């Protein structure tokens, strides 16, 4: 598990699946209403799209820590750091 200011990530590489699989988990402690939780997910999934072809077999779950993820450049930097570290575990 890797820790970042905006999220925690649990991941592993699977030899049985060809495409990477990503899940974004937003708890009720982070965002009380379903509307806010889904809005957060919808902001994060497009940021993960560029990594689909780069990391085949990666299975990752992102547990969001804060509802203030409107600062997309900082989240992009954290995701880049995560994918660099996860590539080292391959």
User: Tens digit of pLDDT for each residue in 3-58?
Assistant: 998 899 999 998 888 889 999 999 999 999 999 999 999 999 998 999 888 888 89
- What is 2-88's CATH topology? Ribosomal Protein S5; domain 2 (3.30.230)
21: its two tokens? 């699989």
Over 80: is that where the pLDDT of 2 sits? Answer: yes
The tens digit of pLDDT for each residue in 51-84 reads 888 888 899 999 999 888 765 678 889 999 999 9
Phi, psi of 89 (to 5 degrees): -85, -10
Where are the chain's structural domains?
Answer: 2-88
Task: Provide the strand spans (E) within 37-85.
Answer: 58-64
What is the SS3 assignment for 27? coil
Residues 6+ apart with CB under 8 A from 85: 2
pLDDT the model gives residue 14: 87
pLDDT attached to residue 15: 83
Instruction: Give the per-residue pLDDT at 25.
Output: 96
Which phi and psi angles does 28 have, rounded to 5°?
Answer: -70, -20
């Amino acid at each position: 598990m890797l820790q970042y200011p905006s999220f925690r990530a649990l991941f592993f590489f699977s030899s049985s699946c060809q495409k990477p699989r990503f899940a974004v988990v937003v708890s009720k402690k982070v965002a009380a209403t379903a509307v806010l939780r889904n809005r957060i997910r919808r902001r994060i999934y497009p940021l993960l799209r560029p990594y689909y072809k780069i990391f085949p077999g990666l299975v990752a779950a992102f547990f969001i820590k804060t509802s203030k993820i409107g600062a997309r450049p900082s989240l992009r930097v954290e995701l880049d750091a995560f994918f660099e570290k996860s590539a080292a575990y391959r």
